Every structure is written in structure tokens, then in C-alpha cells.
Amino acid sequence: MYASERLTVVKIAEHTYMHTSFLSTQSFGKVACNGMLVVQAGTGIIFDTPTDPESSNELLALAAEKLQIKVKAVVATHFHEDCVGGLQAFLDAQIPSYASRATVELLMQQGEKSNMPQTSFEGRLTLPLGKEKVEARFLGEGHTTDNIIGYFPKDRVLFGGCLIKEIGANKGNLADANVQAWPETVSKVKQHYPKARVVIPGHGQPGGTELLDYTIQLFR
């Protein structure tokens, strides 16, 4: 539904969109990084910021002008730049920001100041969205020690972030990974969300629950 040099936004369910921005890396070149926008009753919640303030402001402008919604929260799924790199734009817009306590602690260890979420939670976070709800949950280590997932029950969409791989992907960035725990964590995700219909990975194309199975097998 939208594409520019910095940002693309694709509708993947009735109330759910995937936003994709780009990160330049030394190891992997220019990487497309996914996030999720859930919309309900004139409001929205975003999982993972676009990779920088400019693309984040672009997403916020699109939400306000084209979708005509007010973004009421942003949730970071782990401490890497592809999740929090644009957080300053949300802070400037006075949009509440959330992350797990582990994510906040890892950002503090890095000396991060500008991209620091305002509110931390332990284990599970549920946010109201109109008459519906959106949830974030930590189910174990994998891509990082702090990686969480997001789920929107109404559309049955699971945002796996970098914990989940697209079909055909390699293992990717393992610098902060727990590869031994990874397959068991994804198995827990599968058990907790048996009704999930659409799965969004941190990078690459969305699909169904076959992405969960692929990721489990990749790390076994």
C-alpha cells in the first residue's frame, strides 16, 4: 500500500500491516527489516521501530494521514538497532514505548540514551487496542537473550521478529544468540499460539506457521 526509498508498508490481514525499512550493515550489507502495525478503532500499535528516525517519521505520517489513526504505543522486540533505531521519533511524538526489562538492561549496558524505551515489563505485556488487545511475550532465548514476540488475536497474526526466519533463510546474525535454546523457544511459541495464521519474520517474507517449523529445524 506504500513504498518509498526508505520504507514499505504492506497490508497482510484485515487490521494488520507489515512495515519494512533498511539497515546498512558491515556483515550482511543492506538488510530489509520488518515490523508490525496493528490498527483498530482509530488507533494503532507498532512492533519494532523502523531502522532510523527518518523512516520512523515516515511511518508515523502514513499512519496519521493515510490510515487516519493515532499510534498509541510502540513495542521493541529486542535491543538491536533494527528494533529501536528509530525510537527517538516516537519519543519526540510523545508515543509511549515499551520493551522487556532484559531489553532495557542490555541497552543500558551499551550506554544507549536516545533509543531507550520508557516502560519495561517482565514476561508478558497486554495492551488494549479499541475493544481488542495486543500482546507481547518472552518465551525464551534465541536470536538474542531478550527476544520477545507480538500477537494480535483478532487477525491471528504473530510477529516473530528476528526469532523467526523466513523460508530458505540461513542462520543470520548469531553474535548475541543462544543457538541451543533457539529451537525450544520457537516450539514454545508454536504451543502458545496454535491459532496463529500469519507469521511475520524479522527479515524477509511473511507466511504461515511453516516459518515456525522451518526455524525449529534450522537450529536443531
Q: Per the residue annotation, which of 83, 143, 147, 190 is the catalytic one? A: 143
Q: Measuring CA to CA, how many Å separate 181 from each of 118, 139, 140, 147, 175? A: 29, 11, 7, 12, 15
How far apart are alpha carbons 183 and 83 in whole angstroms?
Answer: 22
Known catalytic residue at 192: no
- Asked if 19 is an active-site residue, the reply is no
Residue 115 bears catalytic tag: no
Which residue in the list 78, 83, 155, 190 is annotated as catalytic?
78
**DSSP SS3 for 186:** helix
The single residue of 11, 133, 173, 192 carrying the catalytic annotation is 173
Query: Of 80, 115, 146, 147, which residue is the catalytic one?
Result: 80
- Known active-site residue 15: no
Catalytic site residue from 82, 115, 146, 147: 82
Q: Which helix (H) or strand (E) holds 104?
A: helix 101-109
Cα–Cα–Cα angle for 22, 177, 117, nearest 5°?
Answer: 60
Q: Is 33 one of the annotated active-site residues of the chain?
A: no
Q: Mind telling me the catalytic residues? A: 78, 80, 82, 143, 162, 165, 173, 203
